[in-house]
Structures are given as structure tokens and as C-alpha cells.
């Protein structure tokens, strides 16, 4: 019998769920009635009560009462949640500062879901197969990335840029997804930085930030990685560390200080915070404006928006790019629809992740935009996988492009 060490700490949150169901069927004046949970909504007629937060809380109540034991089957269910946090935004019992009730500080849903995942791991029912592979790759001394690629591949892109230093005020933390899967975006980032005269340092021995380990509840596998990465950053003498990945951003800025129980000796920023600074100082030399105006909408990555409250800066960046008309999707900022890739869903339940992204693409088209941009390689990768499965008629209505590539295309 599992000791439920982590879930027991969240018992108040679990039992304070009053079963209202807003986490499944919220009504908001701005957007009307719609389902809140991407997992529940995408499963449609096949969806069950336990797919969204109310049902999940009921299962957790039964686990805490000793009526349901932890099991592998339970783990298969627990990991079908992207940890997007949309349920927290509508829940009357959450930490939502806009909902003021005497009891409104009790449920941090993602924290609760992660507590269960930690207990499942400690009880030996998780990680699930694909997650286990990723953790193994992440720990392997020849890889240190969840893609199973050789460690040296992560820094191959730097060979084209001899101006990158070993030490400096600004350090770029590359993460794994962009250098291993979206290297053109990195080259575009360098095009922007060079045009603005910004010099950066990198570590040639950066390991995976550990986001996937944390999100699946295996924090122990990440402590060494956090220590190593902090030490590598320290060696560069950087005052500011920036990343172009929403997952790395959350992990470095929020999780590392908690894991290491100390403040970091540097500031962590997202690439959009660097870009807005350059734009405000007029450091980016845009080419002459083209006649065609792009209608651009922005997808809020969960790890940047709901998890870290960074909503406005990416929008400011987009609005300062010439030749763009910015359009909001119906569900934006705190109510943004998740891309479906987070929380380990992409690696273990790829079809589910892709179906959630298809809905986001349709919402972008409905907004009237012809470009959908975002500021996370994980989101753009999943959205593109979904796009590839959609019909040519839909594809011709919209293009998907990372915010870095969008800005670089105008220089």
C-alpha cells in the first residue's frame, strides 16, 4: 500500500472541491459557454467525467479514503492531463485572485495532479513506458537530452556563429527542443541578436533543464541536472539567462529555486523579454514595410501564461513588428486553449496532443488571422504536427510560425 506522501499534503485542496463542474463547463460572458478542459473536450462523446478536474478530484478523494488503490491503470489515466491549468482559472476554490470567496485559496490543480504523479512514481506504477525512455535519455551521460540524441549535437548550430562567447552578461539557455529539432529558429534568433548588436554566451555542456521529469512527477531525477546547469550558468558569469522555450523558462525561473532551496545568482528571462527591450530601444533594423499586412494571432503557451503570468510582452513584441495586424483568438491569456503537448501528453499520448492542437488551429482560423504564432518550441512543434494532418483547404487558410521566425522575416 502506497503511503501517498505527496497526495496527503494536498488533502485540503482535494476535499475542498465542491463538485460544481465549472472546470468542465464554464460560462464566461466574453466567450459564452464552452468546455474548459482540453482533454475532456477533445475526447467528445468518448469523454468521461474523470477526464476533467471534477472527476479527477472525485477519484483522488477515493484514493485518499483508501477506496481506490494506486495502480498502473490509474497511472495511464493520471497522465492524460496536459497540466494546462485551465481548470484552476475557472475554479471557485482556486488561487484565482479574481474570484474572491472566503475559501478561495485552496486548490492549485497542477500541484495536486503532480502530487499524484509523484506518489505513482514512488509506488512503482509510473513512469509510463515513453516517459521512462525520456528520463533514461535525459540521464544518460552521452545524451543529457530527452530526444536520445548525442550530446554534441545540441551545440552543432553554434559552429556557424563564432561570435558566441564562453562568458558574458547575457547567457542563452538553448534547452533541447530548439537546438535538436528547430535549429532554423535558432539561426533566426542569432540574425536578430546580431542585427541589434547583442552578444551572447552559451554553455557547451548544458544539460536538459529537466522539465519533463518534473512534470511527470520525477523531481529526484532533476536535482542533479538543476545543480549542473546552475553551475554551468555561473561559469559564464551571466547576469541574465534567457531561453526561447516556455518549458525551460518555467523550470529555471520557478522550479530550480524550489528544488535547490536557494535563490539563483542570475535573472531568468524569456526571449520575448529580450526582444521587447531591443524593440523599445529601436535596436532592430526592420526592412521597408511590405504592402501585404499579415493578420497575426498569438497562442499563449501554458508554461509562459498561466504558469508564469507572462501574457502581455509577447503581444507587445508582435504589435511592434511592422506590417502586422494583431487579432486575439476567442480564448486568450488566462483562458487560452492549451496546445495539448504539456504534462508529458505529447510523448505518451501523441494522438491526444495532436487533436487538442487541431482545435486551437481552427480557433485561430475563426479569429480571421492568417498567421498563428507562439513563443514555445514545444507548442509550435505540436501545432505543426496537427497542421500536417489537416486538409489542404484548412492549411491554405493559415500559416504557423514561431515568434522569432516572424520577427526575423522582417529584418
Footprint of ligand SF4 (CB under 6 A): 17-23, 36-39, 52-54, 56-57, 81-87, 90-93, 107, 109-110
At closest approach, how far in Å is the CB of 142 from ligand SF4?
34
Of 339 and 369, the one with the shorter C-beta distance to ligand SF4 is 339
User: What ranges make up the beta strands (E) of 20-153?
Assistant: 27-28, 32-33
CB 398 within 8 A of CB 295: no
Residue 320, exposed/middle/buried by CB under 10 A (0-12, 13-18, 19+)?
A: middle
In the sheet where 399-402 sits, what is the strand order? 324-326, 294-299, 371-374, 399-402
Rg over CA atoms, the chain: 21
Preceding omega of 207 cis (within 30 degrees of 0)? no
At closest approach, how far in Å is the CB of 41 from ligand SF4?
9
Of 47 and 148, the one with the shorter C-beta distance to ligand SF4 is 47
Give the span between the Cα atoms of 284 and 4, in whole angstroms: 53
At closest approach, how far in Å is the CB of 403 from ligand SF4?
23
At closest approach, how far in Å is the CB of 76 from ligand SF4?
15
At closest approach, how far in Å is the CB of 361 from ligand SF4?
18
Of 107 and 386, the one with the shorter C-beta distance to ligand SF4 is 107
Helix (H, G, I), strand (E, B) or coil at 19: coil
Of 43 and 151, the one with the shorter C-beta distance to ligand SF4 is 43
At closest approach, how far in Å is the CB of 256 from ligand SF4?
22
CA atoms within 13 A on the CB side of 40: 23
Of 81 and 202, the one with the shorter C-beta distance to ligand SF4 is 81
Of 78 and 278, the one with the shorter C-beta distance to ligand SF4 is 78
Give the span between the Cα atoms of 209 and 221, in whole angstroms: 11
At closest approach, how far in Å is the CB of 163 from ligand SF4?
42
For residue 281, give every residue at least 6 positions away whose Cβ sits within 8 Å of its Cβ, in sequence order, or none: none
Give the span between the Cα atoms of 112 and 60, in whole angstroms: 9
Of 90 and 252, the one with the shorter C-beta distance to ligand SF4 is 90
Amino acid at each position: 500500500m502506497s503511503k501517498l506522501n505527496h497526495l496527503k499534503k494536498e488533502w485540503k485542496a482535494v476535499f475542498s472541491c465542491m463538485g460544481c463542474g465549472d472546470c468542465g463547463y464554464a460560462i464566461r460572458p466574453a466567450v459564452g459557454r464552452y468546455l474548459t478542459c482540453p482533454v475532456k473536450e477533445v475526447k467528445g462523446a468518448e469523454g468521461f467525467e474523470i477526464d476533467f478536474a471534477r472527476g479527477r478530484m472525485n477519484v483522488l478523494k477515493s484514493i485518499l479514503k483508501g477506496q481506490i488503490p494506486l495502480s498502473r491503470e490509474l497511472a495511464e489515466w493520471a497522465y492524460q492531463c496536459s497540466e494546462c491549468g485551465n481548470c484552476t482559472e475557472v475554479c471557485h476554490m482556486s488561487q484565482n485572485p479574481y474570484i474572491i470567496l472566503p475559501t478561495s485559496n485552496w486548490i492549485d490543480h497542477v500541484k495536486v495532479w503532480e502530487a499524484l504523479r509523484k506518489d505513482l512514481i514512488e509506488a512503482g506504477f509510473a513512469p509510463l513506458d515513453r516517459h521512462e525512455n525520456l528520463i533514461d535519455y535525459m540521464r544518460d551521460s552521452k545524451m543529457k537530452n530527452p530526444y536520445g540524441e548525442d550530446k554534441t549535437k545540441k551545440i552543432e548550430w553554434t559552429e556557424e556563429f563564432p561570435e558566441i562567447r564562453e562568458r558574458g552578461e547575457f547567457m542563452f539557455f538553448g534547452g533541447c527542443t530548439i537546438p535538436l529539432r528547430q535549429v532554423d529558429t535558432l539561426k533566426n534568433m542569432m540574425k536578430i541578436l546580431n542585427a541589434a548588436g547583442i552578444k551572447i554566451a552559451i554553455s557547451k555542456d548544458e544539460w536538459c533543464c529537466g522539465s519533463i521529469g518534473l512534470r511527470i512527477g520525477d523531481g529526484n531525477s532533476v536535482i542533479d541536472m538543476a545543480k549542473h546547469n546552475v553551475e554551468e550558468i555561473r561559469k559564464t558569469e551571466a547576469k541574465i539567462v534567457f531561453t526561447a522555450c516556455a518549458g525551460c523558462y518555467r523550470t529555471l525561473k520557478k522550479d530550480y529555486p524550489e528544488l535547490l532551496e536557494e535563490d539563483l545568482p542570475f535573472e531568468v528571462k524569456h526571449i520575448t523579454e529580450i526582444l521587447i527591450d531591443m524593440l523599445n530601444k529601436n535596436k532592430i533594423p526592420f526592412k521597408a514595410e511590405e504592402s501585404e499586412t499579415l493578420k497575426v494571432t498569438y497562442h499563449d503557451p501554458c508554461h509562459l501564461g498561466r504558469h508564469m503570468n507572462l501574457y502581455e510582452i509577447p503581444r507587445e513584441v508582435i504589435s511592434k513588428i511592422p506590417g502586422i495586424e494583431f487579432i486575439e483568438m476567442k480564448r486568450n491569456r488566462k483562458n487560452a486553449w492549451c496546445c495539448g503537448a504539456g504534462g508529458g501528453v505529447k510523448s505518451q499520448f501523441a494522438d491526444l496532443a495532436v487533436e487538442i492542437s487541431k482545435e486551437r488551429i481552427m480557433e485561430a482560423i475563426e479569429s480571421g488571422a492568417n498567421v498563428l504564432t507562439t513563443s514555445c518550441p514545444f507548442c509550435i512543434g505540436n501545432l505543426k504536427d496537427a497542421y500536417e494532418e489537416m486538409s489542404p483547404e484548412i492549411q491554405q487558410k493559415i500559416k504557423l510560425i514561431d515568434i522569432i521566425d516572424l520577427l526575423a522575416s522582417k529584418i
